[in-house]
Amino acid sequence: MKKVFFISDAHIGAESSEQERIKSEKLFRFFDIVASEGSAVYILGDFFDFWFDYRKVIPSKYFKILCKLASLADAGVEIHIFGGNHDWWMKKNGFFARNFGIKIHPKPMRTKIFGKRFFLAHGDGIAPSDWGYRDILCPILRNPLSVWLFGLLPAEWGLALAKLVSSSSKLYTEKRNLRFEQEYENFAQKIIADGVDYVVMGHLHIVVNAKLNGGIYANIGDFFKNFSYAEFDGEKFEIKTIEQ
Ligand SMILES: [Mn+2]
């Protein structure tokens, strides 16, 4: 039986060109594993450091990785992308759905994989104490009017603005998120108590694979410093890394 793979938080485009080159080489190795051993891959958000579904423009720095996704889709691998806090602005029937048949998930999702119950999410806004982001910032950034207004900016300006906001917020958010670790575990505990077997998220940029009340709470880490990913064969849920 082929496996199902999970990856998250590659933040493609966020780093220096040397780091991006290393990341892209490892990403290609990951997707080669998926193509040969997998039937599906779940990309759990913040894969791109920023994405906006323009009607006629795609950001050129993503050219190679978009080609790789296309060849993966052509090989028959089912691809899911969850919106993260950095790349939430993918339309359900936008660029990815139309060109590659990729399924876009703007929200957390419950699904069955090999008969097991999964809760999948990027994980932003889950900690109760993260109310400032969840209840104030997020509704503004995701408001249809804000999205429409942003789309009116020339793409070069929009992408430059996003880059500015994204790079100044990233380190701050990363440190801040670590304070929420316990709240994520509490959250996972509740979902497991509700009958879910596996709670799988990203966003925190740390690796967690813990047994919790008969279920599993996993955080699959990130793909820019840990280069971690997860695979599930119906029995075993393992977190691995792409080494040197
Ligand atoms: Mn995130």
Per-residue exposure over 30-67, b if at least 16 CB sit within 10 Å of its own CB, e if not: bbebbbeebebbbbbbbbbbbbbbbeeeebeebeebbe
* Residue ranges per structural domain of the chain: 3-241
Contact 189, 212 (CB under 8 A): yes
Q: What is the pLDDT of residue 172?
A: 64
Task: Say how many C-beta atoms besides its own lie within 10 A of residue 203's C-beta.
Answer: 28
Interval between CA 46 and ligand 1 midpoint (Å): 5
Q: What is the pLDDT of residue 39?
A: 98
* E-strand stretches of the chain: 3-7, 38-43, 78-82, 103-105, 109-113, 116-120, 198-201, 207-212, 215-220, 228-232, 237-241
Task: Say how many C-beta atoms besides its own lie within 10 A of residue 131's C-beta.
Answer: 11
Q: What is the pLDDT of residue 166?
A: 83
Interval between CA 37 and ligand 1 midpoint (Å): 27
Interval between CA 33 and ligand 1 midpoint (Å): 24
Residue 46: which pLDDT band, with cuts at 50, 70 and 90?
A: very high
Q: What is the mean pLDDT of residues 229-244?
A: 95
Interval between CA 168 and ligand 1 midpoint (Å): 14
Distance, CA of 79 to CA of 42 (rounded, Å): 6
Interval between CA 76 and ligand 1 midpoint (Å): 28
Is residue 240 scored above 70 in pLDDT? yes
Interval between CA 124 and ligand 1 midpoint (Å): 6
Interval between CA 19 and ligand 1 midpoint (Å): 19
Q: What CATH number labels 3-241? A: 3.60.21.10
Distance, CA of 225 to CA of 33 (rounded, Å): 19
Per-residue pLDDT of 79-105, as tens digits, reads 999 999 999 999 999 999 999 999 999
Q: How far apart, in Å, are the Cα atoms of 129 and each of 140, 142, 179, 207?
A: 18, 20, 10, 21
Per-residue pLDDT of 147-171, as tens digits, reads 999 999 999 999 999 988 887 776 5
Per-residue pLDDT of 174-203, as tens digits, reads 677 777 889 999 999 999 999 999 999 999
Interval between CA 121 and ligand 1 midpoint (Å): 10
Interval between CA 204 and ligand 1 midpoint (Å): 7
Distance, CA of 159 to CA of 93 (rounded, Å): 21
Q: Report the predicted TM-score, pTM, of the whole model to 2 decimal places.
A: 0.94
